[in-house]
Structure 1
Amino acid sequence: MAEVINGQPLTPTEYINHHLTSNKFPHESLNSFLQVNVDILFFSTVLGLLFIVLFYVASRKASSGVPGKFQCAVEILFDFINTNVKDIFHGKSRLIAPLAMTIFVWIFLMNLMDLIPVDLLPHLANVLFGISYLRVVPTADINVPLALALGVFILIIFYSIKIKGLGGYLKELAFHPFNHKALIPVNLIFGLIELIAKPISLSMRLFGNMFAGEVVFILIAGLIPYYLQFMGSLPWALFHILVITIQAFVFMMLTVVYLAQAHEKH
């Protein structure tokens, strides 16, 4: 499909690049050191607020009698996540289970945006507001998975020091895996590599899968008019539902695993 932006038709290459370009502030032409992907920030914030509102409504309408369909869905999800957290995390914390729930639902909602026809929201934004660039899948932008992973990284450091004390944590880094003073430099190198690898692996796994899925949808959309994209991308979308759910689940479970390790004393 040769999409037209500001009166100019796009070649297939320009079409792909156009959909992989975020709406930045300040604009790229200003060569600013610090830029904000406005569209990614907007959609991630809106979806986060949507999660808060939905679960607040579910909590306010919860009853001990026969639950409604929405309450049943929330309770099933809560029991599922709570069971998985208890199987992995054996410490005492009032944060881990709610954090796991938040991570799973928020990432799932952001991933779910990938199922919207590629040209639908960008076309509407261009017609209604004159916006030329619009990316709607926050987790397909490396900034969002990396920010989430850095948040987990900070919690790992926080709980490691809280549970073990600063001295105990530094001693763990210095004497693990080799319990000998002569090998402290080697242990520190291994420990730092392991520590840094956690947020990198978390963010790159989520980003890689969602970016690849977005590219496939764009390639499909490039061959079909926007008003028929739903039918053209339906087979891939049905498979991608499994992908977006698994990626949210994996990110949540690895977060719980890393925080469980931070609570362990060696």
Structure 2
Amino acid sequence: MSTEYASAGDYIKHHLGHLTLGNPDSFWALHLDTMFFSLATGGLFLYLFYKVAQTATTGVPGRLQNAVEMIVGFVDQQVKDSFHGRSNLIAPLALTLFVWIFIMNSLKLLPYDLIPYLAQFLGMDHMRINPTSDINATFGMSIAVFFLIIYYSFKVKGGVGFAKEMLLQPFGKWFIPFNLILKVVEEIARPVSLSLRLFGNMYAGGLIFTLIALLPWYLQWTLGLPWSLFKLLIITLQAFIFMVLTIVYLSLAHEDH
């Protein structure tokens, strides 16, 4: 399918570009495709879980209800194992992050050229369907987690307790400037690592799909199928890691000793 492009580089550049509102090189440019597919997958998540909640039965469950119950039970167990505070928000947040990120990651498994070609047919130059391969989306989620960490740190430990943690740990009052630098770096590293880990894995996976699409058709199937199966493991693992680290970070924020 890449024969319509002048070169392999043009094909790669096209498939890694975004449908953008505003100057693509500007900080204020909006990636419309990322926003659309993020909202669409979020809406799909809400619809499926709402539908199951409305039609749930105590008898023999259907396939969808059974799948949702397994996911809810799995996430609930992870929260029980990793979170040591008391909060009504953590379990729903963990469930939302896991399922939402998994669905966004799964878009990568759709036929690679299908959506971009449909977008071209409709007059749009670019269309990337995987929001988590856009660093803006992953940073957005990690920054939301970061604000929750700061909020619960103040709520549980109080202003004085939070200040002591920032200034006196780990080396005591004689190393306050050094302690502060270490704690600031530690706090900033959390959202940065969360976002870059998810983004890096999804972006690299998309790039490999792009390279496979440049090969002759008989090699595309030979290499694309095993990579898709391996990618299914990666997209699940990345959603799980983001969820578990979020639970752990929020658990640390609830520690008051």
Name the TM-score class by shorter chain.
Answer: over 0.9
User: How far, CA to CA, are the matches of 1:33 and 1:248 in structure 2?
Assistant: 27
**Contact 1:118 1:229 (C-alpha < 8 Å) held by counterparts:** no
Report the equivalent of 2:39.
Answer: 45
Do the aligned partners of residues 173 and 119 (structure 1) sit closer, same or farther apart at CA in structure 2, a change above 3 Å counting?
same
**Contact 2:34 2:128 (C-alpha < 8 Å) held by counterparts:** yes
Do the aligned partners of residues 124 and 141 (structure 1) sit closer, same or farther apart at CA in structure 2, a change above 3 Å counting?
same
**Contact 1:103 1:252 (C-alpha < 8 Å) held by counterparts:** yes
Pair 1:220 & 2:220 matched: no
**Contact 2:2 2:213 (C-alpha < 8 Å) held by counterparts:** no
Pair 1:165 & 2:161 matched: no
TM value normalised by structure 2? 0.96
Aligned ranges for residues 49-88 of structure 1 at < 5 Å?
49-88=43-82
Aligned ranges for residues 140-159 of structure 1 at < 5 Å?
140-159=133-152
**Contact 1:221 1:232 (C-alpha < 8 Å) held by counterparts:** no
Following TM superposition, by how much is the alpha carbon of 1:42 offset from its aligned partner in structure 2, in angstroms? Answer: 0.5
Amino acid at match of 2:11: Y
TM value normalised by structure 1? 0.92
Percent identity over the alignment? 50
Q: Which runs of 4+ in 1 moved over 2 A?
A: 1-4, 227-232
**Contact 1:114 1:214 (C-alpha < 8 Å) held by counterparts:** yes
**Mind listing any 5+ residue stretches in structure 1 that lack a counterpart?**
none
Amino acid at match of 1:11: S
Pair 1:239 & 2:230 matched: yes
Moved more, 105-114 or 216-225: 216-225
**Contact 1:23 1:133 (C-alpha < 8 Å) held by counterparts:** yes
User: How far, CA to CA, are the matches of 1:175 and 1:18 in structure 2?
Assistant: 51
What do the CA deviations read for 1:152-178 (whole angstroms, capped 9, x no partner)?
000000000000111110111111111
User: How far, CA to CA, are the matches of 2:222 and 2:118 in structure 1?
Assistant: 19
1:258 aligned to 237, 240, 249, which one?
249
Amino acid at match of 1:113: L
Aligned CA RMSD, in angstroms, stands at: 1.6
Moved more, 153-162 or 66-75: 66-75
1:198 partner SS: helix
The size of the alignment, in residue pairs, is 257
**Mind listing any 5+ residue stretches in structure 2 that lack a counterpart?**
none
What do the CA deviations read for 1:124-175 (whole angstroms, capped 9, x no partner)?
1211x11111111100111111110000000000000000111110111111
User: How far, CA to CA, are the matches of 2:84 and 2:36 in structure 1?
Assistant: 37
Following TM superposition, by how much is the alpha carbon of 1:53 offset from its aligned partner in structure 2, in angstroms? Answer: 0.4
